[in-house]
Structure 1
Amino acid sequence: MHNQDNFGHKPPVVTVSDIAKPGPRKISLLNPASAKRPKRFLKTALALIVLVILILGGFVFFRASSISSKIFVGQKTTFFQKLRDTFRGGSGSVKLIGEDMGQINVLLLGIGGEGHDGPYLTDTMILAQIRPDIGEVALISIPRDYLVTLPGKLGQGKINAAFAEGFARHKDWDEAGKWARTVVEQITGQTVPYFAVVDFKGFEAAIDRVGGIDIQVERTFTDYQYPDGKEGYLAPLTFTEGLRHFDGTKALQFARSRHAAGPEGSDFARSQRQQKVIEALKQKVTSMDVITDPRKLNDLLGIFADHFHTNISPGEILRIYNLVKDKGIDSFLSLSLDPSTNIICPGTIPIGEINAYIVSPCEGKTPQDVQNFFKNSFALGKMYEEKSVVWMADSTKSKTAYETADEKLKNAGLTVWEVPYTDKTFTQTVFYQVNPKPATAEFIKNTLGAAEVSLPPPGFKIDKNKVDVIVILGGTQ
């Protein structure tokens, strides 16, 4: 016998077979590959800069200080001052900007480098949000075509041009980094005090130096328009699904390919492939015990000296390293601000003499919605990891109410199935956790104004393998 008192109504009879149809596919806020193997992907070490930190460890930066003029930019300190800063960072006496506020933001940038078209355009832009208080890190990919107001009174342009324009005007890595940080602060609403930039020629050389890397290719794709660096194209490049061994050249082509048919032809897929290359290089270097081999260590440091630049001091880098190590941070959330979020949409605008492809807030969305995406990144990332399936019924008989709630849940990456409901109207939206999904439950509670109930909704034939949360819409959402 069902507990009718919990809901105060005659139970509807609803079974799995009553479900009319599944909702749209899950919105991919994260790397599609990570959905299949989340634990493996979450070992990625803070993309670009933390790759160096976690691979080479604290000791490296004593050596790195001797080539500090190339690596550490925007810092008017002597070699011995940098050594002192390194010791202070190791002892914990260096504080990072944002540490007292509970979040440290680092902008991670990838550029093509000399010999590539647009050598200083940022192919990769990732905001790393480090939360030492809860021992978590979020990596958020920013689309290179996002429309912003560029510094220097340049007007509107793509966000990937900010670093290039800053470098063109100042011929200085730190100034270029400031321009990039400025536009990222503009769209995120957050203070971004730090940046690190690496050009992919550096990774190509590093990969060759360690004997190549192994990468799991998620799906077969072919790029028919990969530039040859001479105003033409290479022969078609095909990457076949499966575990593949790449040298530096092939790995760079895999990371930078953008003209394949289907999903792999997007800039968003490319940013995820770049993270896979970084992860694979990290794993290879770690497996080779580079720290204990002075020759290998010096070789890699020489490569990074010419291709890696940051405004983070040696002491601050050691502080980040110690925070990551001491908090046991070995799982990172990874998100992408892309059109699948339904927050930003593609379009075109005239830039110069051409109609340029851009992305910007969708109709009905505002810059505040974009800022909220970055503000709620940890909650969104956790919720996606849960991969919850929601059954939702509507007691209000209001098409608008259901569509509004449906959009909110799907925009957050949830899989939503509509189930019929024919009984009386609820005065409040309620939900029940079939399987424990705390992040999803918190989101539904806050977003729909829902109350959680402890007993299963009567009349539902529940299969724990097919549903995680049941929602019944009431008078308020």
Structure 2
Amino acid sequence: MNKIPVNQLPPPANTLAFPNKKRRKLKIFFWSVAGIFLATTIWIGVTGIVALRNISAKNAGDSSLFFRFNGQIPADKLANEVDGNINIALLGADIAAGLTDSIQVVSIDPVNKAMSMISVPRDLYVANADGTKSRINEVYNRAVATCANSKTCDAEIDAGGEAMKKVLTSALGVDVNYFARADFEGLKQIVDTLGGIDIYVEQTLSDPQFPNSNYSGYDPFYLPAGQTHMNGSIALKYARCRHGSCGSDFGRALRQQKVVVAIRNKALGLGVLANPKKITDLISAIGDNFRTDMKTSEMINVVKLIKEIPDTKVTNTVIDNGTTGPLAVLQGAMAYLLAPKLGENDWSGVHEFVANVLPKPYISRENIQIVIDDRSGKALGTALAAKLKIYGYNVKILTGSVGTVPQTTIEHNGGDFPYTIALLKKRLNLPATKNGSLGEGTQIKITLGIDFTLK
């Protein structure tokens, strides 16, 4: 069997051996990045301070459509159903090891005030800009190293952050607009500054192999199930444990997302926003260990949006290799790697998985029912309905259809739902025509013809 060359890969995620002491000490989880990001946006939103030279990088790509069009995006400018979201890559960097081991994309729906958090596994096998392949946790530092040896790189652009945005955009099928990166050991200080956080622990956690403070042995971690008030030390262990009943890296990612939500709830509370000392303490905790390519105005708007999102409209997802996940262990590799189930280079299943969990701003707002009349003679109506539902469409299959028609058509009654029409045309690559005789209650009708093929 041909082996896939993987040079200098770190150990697989489920290794039981202790990593390098320095790496362990400096290891940053994505939730610390989220905490820092929230703290920074609160600071800017409350104090109006714009001296961000030390943490700001130039955005080499496009800002979100929502900001570019001041919240009024024309229907024909949307590339797909999730394109109206504000997508931010949160990166937790282990500077000592040169790896970005904690990766998450936070997708904010500014129209319906919703948010989705997606954790990306560090062992995902992806293509770099230079054509080589590596774990996704190596992408950032590879780009930084390449830029350091180039005379054409713009010093104001964070090469690693831009590379991660491009890789995530390609892998997930969504436009990642911004990044926020941190190498920061002080999350405990942030949690303690906030007065602790409250999390409901769903099951008792026991990790007999949790490392002690100097990494010379074990300091077993135990946390009973139930509502728990956590200080910084407990919150750190809660998110870091991954042996025993704590589960694997995937279970840890879900707990990290809970910590993000808890930090958000506490940091955005009126008590914190009204307390200048706490804000100052949070700024001190951030220090020089944070970097983002968001403009000050964008950060202010993001924090305003986050404040308006209720907990009931925040979802958490981990992209994994479970039964329902879109990934699988890559066979033939000389290390533990994850790749798409459909094939190493076929990311369509990952794209659909991500689209299914992300908010669909304008499709959800219009919420127009689409009727499918299957006249293809190939019984494709059910499959098309299932695919459209992934992208947020409200679909109904017309029963009792008889006979076939040669061509597939999209018809509408002329109602006010421009986004649904525009996106449906792009999804099916078909024109849409007005028909005032669709029948009572029918707003959009798709008639499948003999020419229809499901892609």
Q: Tell me whether the two structures share a fold, i.e. TM-score over 0.5.
A: yes
Where in structure 2 are the equivalents of 1:104-115 lying within 5 Å?
104-111=85-92, 113=94
How far 1:360 moved relative to its partner? Answer: 0.9
| Contact 1:70 1:305 (8 Å CA) reproduced | no
How far 1:444 moved relative to its partner? Answer: 9.5
Report what 1:239 is aligned to.
223
Q: Which residue identity does 2:84 align to in structure 1?
A: Q
How far 1:311 moved relative to its partner? Answer: 0.5
Where in structure 2 are the equivalents of 1:201-350 lying within 5 Å?
201-228=185-212, 230=214, 232-258=216-242, 260-262=243-245, 264-287=246-269, 289-323=271-305, 331-340=313-322, 341-347=324-330, 350=333
Where in structure 2 are the equivalents of 1:458-469 lying within 5 Å?
none
* 1:59 aligned counterpart, secondary structure: helix
How far 1:276 moved relative to its partner? Answer: 1.5
Q: Distance in 1 between matches of 2:337 and 2:353?
A: 19
* Distance of aligned partners of 1:323 and 1:70 in 2 relative to their CA distance in 1, 3 Å threshold: same
Q: Which residue identity does 1:147 align to in structure 2?
A: Y
* 1:160 aligned counterpart, secondary structure: helix
Q: Distance in 1 between matches of 2:38 and 2:248?
A: 25
How far 1:265 moved relative to its partner? Answer: 2.1
How far 1:156 moved relative to its partner? Answer: 1.8
How far 1:195 moved relative to its partner? Answer: 0.6
Report what 1:375 is aligned to.
355
Q: Spell out, residue by residue over 1:73-107, the C-alpha distance to the aligned partner (whole angstroms, 9 max, x if none).
A: 2379xxxxxxxxxxxxxxx8885999963524433
> Which of the numbers 49, 67, 70 marks the counterpart of 2:54?
70
* Distance of aligned partners of 1:430 and 1:177 in 2 relative to their CA distance in 1, 3 Å threshold: closer
* 2:278 aligned counterpart, secondary structure: helix
Report what 2:126 is aligned to.
148
> Which of the numbers 451, 456, 466 marks the counterpart of 2:397?
451
> Which of the numbers 353, 357, 360 marks the counterpart of 2:336?
357
Q: Distance in 2 between matches of 1:125 and 1:206?
A: 20
> Which of the numbers 119, 135, 138 marks the counterpart of 2:116?
138
Q: Distance in 2 between matches of 1:319 and 1:127?
A: 18
* Distance of aligned partners of 1:330 and 1:223 in 2 relative to their CA distance in 1, 3 Å threshold: closer
Q: Which residue identity does 1:249 align to in structure 2?
A: S
Q: Which residue identity does 1:189 align to in structure 2?
A: G
Q: Scaled by the length of structure 1, what TM-score is found?
A: 0.58
| Contact 2:92 2:103 (8 Å CA) reproduced | no
| Contact 2:328 2:338 (8 Å CA) reproduced | yes
Q: Tell me the C-alpha RMSD between the 2 structures.
A: 4.4
* 2:337 aligned counterpart, secondary structure: strand
Matched, 1:157 2:134: yes
| Contact 2:56 2:292 (8 Å CA) reproduced | yes
Report what 1:127 is aligned to.
105
Q: Spell out, residue by residue over 1:236-267, the C-alpha distance to the aligned partner (whole angstroms, 9 max, x if none).
A: 22222122233222211211222x235x3221
* 1:376 aligned counterpart, secondary structure: helix
Corresponding residue pairs, total: 332
Report what 2:415 is aligned to.
none
Q: Distance in 2 between matches of 1:233 and 1:286?
A: 38
Matched, 1:103 2:115: no
How far 1:211 moved relative to its partner? Answer: 3.2
Identity of aligned residues (%): 26
* Distance of aligned partners of 1:339 and 1:218 in 2 relative to their CA distance in 1, 3 Å threshold: same
Q: Distance in 2 between matches of 1:337 and 1:177?
A: 21
Q: Scaled by the length of structure 2, what TM-score is found?
A: 0.60
Give the structure with the higher percent helix. 1
| Contact 1:144 1:158 (8 Å CA) reproduced | yes
Higher RCO structure, 1 or 2 (CA under 8 Å, sep 6+) = 1
Report what 2:446 is aligned to.
none
Q: Which residue identity does 1:103 align to in structure 2?
A: G
* 1:356 aligned counterpart, secondary structure: coil
Q: Distance in 1 between matches of 2:68 and 2:39?
A: 22
* 1:129 aligned counterpart, secondary structure: strand
Q: Distance in 1 between matches of 2:169 and 2:187?
A: 27
* 2:158 aligned counterpart, secondary structure: helix
Unaligned 5+ runs, structure 1: 1-43, 77-91, 382-426, 432-438, 455-476
Unaligned 5+ runs, structure 2: 1-30, 61-66, 149-154, 362-377, 401-453
